[in-house]
Amino acid sequence: MESVERADLLVIGFGKGGKAVAGTMARLGKRVVVVEQSPEMYGGTCPNVGCVPTKALVHRAGHRRPTDPPQEWYERAVGEVHAITSLFRKGNFDAMDGLDTASVLTGHAEFTGAHTVRVDTGGEHVTIEAEHILINTGSVPVVPDIPGLRASRHLVTSTDLIHRTQLPERLAIVGGGYLGIEFAAIYRRFGSQVTVFETGSRILDHEDDDIQAAAEKILVDEGIEIVTGANVTRVHDGDGAATIEYMHDGREHTLTADAVLAAAGRRPATEGLGLAAAGVRTTEQGAVQVNEYLRTSRQHIFALGDVNGGPQFTYVSLDDSRIVLDQLTGSGGVRRTTDRVAVPRTLFMTPPLANVGLTETEARTAGYRIKVASQPVAEIVAMPRAYVVDETRGVMKFVIDLDTDEILGAALLTVDAQELVNVVAQAMRHGIKAEDLRTAIYTHPSSTEAFNDVIGTVVRSDDE
């Protein structure tokens, strides 16, 4: 059965940026259609398989006591998390489909022309003709091309893992980046034996040596085995487990695991979209090619979120929506991707590691004269909160322009880092001096008041 619908705006994918644009345009009276391939993904990656469930697991893993049975605690935690994601998923669907001029179609979308998209809903085909189209399909996990890995019954992606109620006794993680380390921290705290394989000489290789070393010590002290310089050569299944073969220090080694997590990053989800039929170009990396206003090679088609190859963060996708809305509502197009500065990021290990701006190494490479303020959390007198919540591990570090006293970057490995980094980012965006941040009035006891001490603790200065 075939039918045709016309819309002012068609959004392919129910992610953060797309749903924000869709909701706004519908409330302005525009006819909007949102297409989502899976009923399990209403609202996008974040509330279903990304930020919300993983951070909820971080929280629940941290509350398990040594005497709590790991499997029982984990199964209960997963059930609670699934209840949360189900609630969010229903809320997202109802909020969108309940708008007078918006509707949600569940099915696979494929371009048939520059303004037409065919949606296979399973029982029928619907062709949507739209004036403007948003591609908001997100990204999918990358599985490394390791012999035997893709065929293994024990291979899991991050999405697979958080949907399982069986806690793996032994978890092997291929990849020591943000995703791999976050899941290593979560599952170790639930009680799994965790081994991380990283091909590079160290994990978290973007960090300065001091921050990386502090983070790795925390992970190792938690009981996580980290194998750097590891080349996984083969994975094969045995009786109830997978055997991972790898080279390390010129020797062959093996490890058995109940689950093997592929944590080699994510790639833009463009397969099967029929972009060629619409004349939409992609980059060499497979992302939809966009300009600073997120317009594709077809001016009426935009790409938001992970699919456009930008930073893979939900909050960046939300900012994408603001840029696109400027274009669609004729408000002058004042926002663009090139305006973004001081975009923070957080790795949710325990305690979390948050960064913004330049590392010390990057600042020196860029030619800045700098001073570095740094202090272990356990030594920050002005931060009793760390002792109150019994989390004194970590370090805070600021990289400061010696000539202007502006903050060039910060690395915060500490309790509440995911909140602290937003304060620093805001200061950076508005040119607030480091001295102003140091002498500001903060509530007590709080983590923010640590800035009163840390920023004045200069450990290195190019003026010396």
Residue pair 33/109 in contact (Cβ under 8 Å)? The answer is no
Residue pair 54/158 in contact (Cβ under 8 Å)? The answer is yes
CA 401 from centre of chain: 29
Q: How many Å from the N-terminal Cα to the C-terminal Cα in the chain?
A: 77
> Of the candidates 18, 88, 13, 75, which has an alpha carbon nearest to the alpha carbon of residue 49?
88
One DSSP character per residue, 178-196 reads HHHHHHHHHHHHHT-EEEE
State yes or no: is 115 an active-site residue: no
Q: Please, what sign has the CA dihedral across residues 43, 44, 46, 48?
A: positive
| CA dist., res. 202 & res. 426, Å (int) | 31
Q: Choose, from 125, 163, 430, 444, the residue flagged as catalytic.
A: 444
Contacts of 285 (CB under 8 A, 6+ apart): 267, 268, 309
Q: Which residues of 24-59 are buried (b: 16+ CB within 10 A; e: fewer)?
A: bbbeeebbbbbbbbeeebbbbbbbbbbbbbbbbbbe
| CA dist., res. 357 & res. 375, Å (int) | 18
> Of the candidates 1, 309, 306, which has an alpha carbon nearest to the alpha carbon of residue 125?
1
Write out the two tokens for 164.
């399982």
DSSP letter assigned to residue 287 = P
Active site residues: 444
